[in-house]
Amino acid sequence: MPDDLLFAGVHGQAEAVASGAVSAADLTDAVLARIAEVDPRLNAFTVVLSEEARAEAAARDASLAAGERPGPLHGVPVAIKEENVVAGTVTTFGGRANHRVAEADGLVAQRLREAGAIVVGKTNMPEFGQFPFTESVRFGNTLNPWDLGRTPGGSSGGTAAAVASGMVAAGIGGDGGGSIRIPSACCGLFGLKATRGRVSSAPAADLWCALGVVGPLTRTVLDSALVYDAIRGNGPGDRYTVADPEIPFAESARLSAATSQRTLRIAWSTKSPSKGQRPDREHVRAVEETATLLEGLGHKVFEVDPRYPEATVAFLPQMFRGVREEADEMDEPKLLELRTRQALVAGRWATPKVRDWAINEGERIRAKVDERVFAQADVLLTPTITKRPNPVPVLGRAPQPLALLKSMPMVAYTAIWNVTGHPAAAVPSGFGPDGLPTSVQLVARHGDEATLFALSAQLESVRPWADRRPPL
């Protein structure tokens, strides 16, 4: 199996299987071989479902041979973050405290399989996704494919490392404060956090109260759109919902040529929403160069002071309460990591009443952002993260308060959009002198992922990034 097919992405692999150029079984065997070769150096996977994946691949080939119409992800092997429910596996949330094997898929895994995807394994995360670094007492530290001494970010760092290294074409992550966008920025991937309610959280009613969303990490914009089209939509019991897009996201992503992209008002700023956090000069440069590029493509681009409202007062209660609610579902709470137990003590004040206040406060913050930014702009351009990816380990034995402090530079530009629910995407912008990827963040109005897909695809068409591969 040529490496080119392993790095062909969702679209390329699905086309290859559907056309008969390769069977789902052969592609799955190649992916499993790639995982066996590469993952010992990265520690991206927590469990590899080899036999289950081979059985799924055989079923995909049989359906194609029988003349059934292939789904949009037919035969494409994918990975799923540990916090998502996958039949036959334990939903560990990155820790040791849960032992129950799931009898059925969560709705996202179910929809992936219905679209033809093959689940090859689950990926590493910090316990309950509390930190933007993928360090787990149970599963160990995940490393960045571009530099094995650096973090891939988090909390979806296992997924990011698996996709960036060509072990899978796409992986499912979750984003409660930047956990799709941060590892995408660290690993050179496209990662979009959808509008709150775009993707079902079933069987849970929500993720981290109102903060968390589920979504893919991919090498290209179109790949992300294809996966979102497969998994989006609400399910029974979802606390948050949003209307379906007018056209499929994949169609928006294909609007990449400058002649077909409408002129947008794009505001840009390198000012951090979190006080006291300053971006690395490489990230400032990435924003400025992207602003110049967008202006050259015909968009109206202008610098702004977003006058960000203070979002921490809404974020922390939802985060602490979200961890509490997930920890309460574990089989053996005494096996929770020390930092998690410290978080449960430190967050005792985050009662359901405080959580509800914080959610309402988030809506007020959203209204202020809409008035100050999106009344005059269609898209906001910012850095994705402040610092270059840290050397591993980042947290080590740091207690919970110090671990939160170490996390602040990574979430400075991302967490506010979890509070407000706006869609936001990490878009690759090149590489720094250190050989690590750079990234910019694009944010759009509530419910307007379509604009982010189209604009990101336009950037990708004039500044392609997916052909470069980590030196593994």
Specify whether 155 is catalytic.
yes
- Please check whether residue 410 lies inside any domain of the structure: yes
Catalytic residue, candidates 23, 136, 165, 179: 179
pLDDT at 238: 94
Dihedral in degrees, nearest 10, Cα atoms 451, 454, 457, 459? -60
In the beta sheet, which residues pair with residue 199? 232, 233
Write down the H helix ranges in 151-280. Answer: 157-164, 181-187, 221-231, 249-253
Catalytic residue, candidates 23, 136, 155, 165: 155
Catalytic residue, candidates 81, 193, 224, 456: 81
Q: Are strands 300-303 and 135-136 parallel, antiparallel or unpaired?
A: unpaired
- Please check whether residue 427 lies inside any domain of the structure: yes
pLDDT tens-digit series, residues 83-134? 999 999 999 999 999 999 999 999 999 999 999 999 999 999 999 999 999 9
Dig out the tokens for 469 from the structure: 């591969």
As for how many domains the chain has, the answer is 1
Mean pLDDT of the chain: 97
Q: What is the pLDDT along the chain (472 residues), one digit of tens a residue?
A: 778 999 999 999 999 999 999 999 999 999 999 999 999 999 999 999 999 999 999 999 999 999 999 999 999 999 999 999 999 999 999 999 999 999 999 999 999 999 999 999 999 999 999 999 999 999 999 999 999 999 999 999 999 999 999 999 999 999 999 999 999 999 999 999 999 999 999 999 999 999 999 999 999 999 999 999 999 999 989 999 999 999 999 999 998 655 567 899 999 999 999 999 999 999 999 999 999 999 999 999 999 999 999 999 999 999 999 999 999 999 999 999 999 999 999 999 999 999 999 999 999 999 999 999 999 999 999 999 999 999 999 999 999 999 999 999 999 999 999 999 999 999 999 999 999 999 999 999 999 999 999 999 999 999 999 999 999 9
- Please check whether residue 470 lies inside any domain of the structure: no
- Please check whether residue 247 lies inside any domain of the structure: yes
CATH of the domain at 420: 3.90.1300.10
Specify whether 81 is catalytic.
yes
Burial (CB < 10 A; 0-12, 13-18, 19+), residue 20, is exposed
Q: Cβ atoms within 10 A of the Cβ of 61, count?
A: 20
Specify whether 122 is catalytic.
no
pLDDT at 203: 92
Residues 132 and 148: their CA atoms lie apart, in Å, by: 17
Which residue segment(s) compose the domain that 110 sits in? 3-462
In the beta sheet, which residues pair with residue 136? 140
- Please check whether residue 341 lies inside any domain of the structure: yes
- Please check whether residue 150 lies inside any domain of the structure: yes
- Please check whether residue 472 lies inside any domain of the structure: no
- Please check whether residue 412 lies inside any domain of the structure: yes
